[in-house]
Amino acid sequence: MRTPLSELNSLPTPEFVLRLGGIFEHSPWVAEKAAEDRPYPSREALHTAMVRIVHLAGEQAHLQLLNAHPDLVGRAVLTAESASEQAAAGLTDLSKEETEKFRSFNHDYRRKFGFPFIICARLNKKEAILEAFPRRLVQDRQTEIATALEEIAKIARLRLEDTVL
Over residues 30-45, the pLDDT tens digits come to: 999 999 999 999 999 9
pLDDT band with cut points at 50, 70 and 90 for residue 46: very high
Radius of gyration of the chain, Cα coordinates, nearest whole angstrom = 16
3-class secondary structure, 18: helix
* Cβ atoms of residues 72 and 86 within 8 Å: yes
pLDDT (0 to 100) of residue 139: 98
- Assess whether 26 carries a catalytic annotation: no
Q: Which of 47, 55, 62, 69 is catalytic?
A: 69
Write the CA distances from 155 to 10, 22, 50, 115, 138, integer angstroms.
Answer: 25, 11, 12, 17, 23
pTM for the whole structure: 0.94
Q: Does the structure show a pLDDT above 80 at 76?
A: no
Cα distance between residue 149 and residue 66, in whole Å = 8
| Dist. CA 19–CA 30, nearest whole Å | 12
The domain made up of 5-163 has a fold known as UraD-like (1.10.3330)
Q: Is the dihedral of CA 16, 79, 163, 64 positive or negative?
A: positive
**Quick check: 144 and 66 in contact, CB under 8 A?**
no
Q: What is the pLDDT of residue 64?
A: 97
In 21-163, which ranges are continuous DSSP H helix?
A: 29-35, 43-56, 59-67, 80-88, 96-113, 126-137, 141-163
HSE, side-chain direction, 13 A CA sphere, residue 2: 11
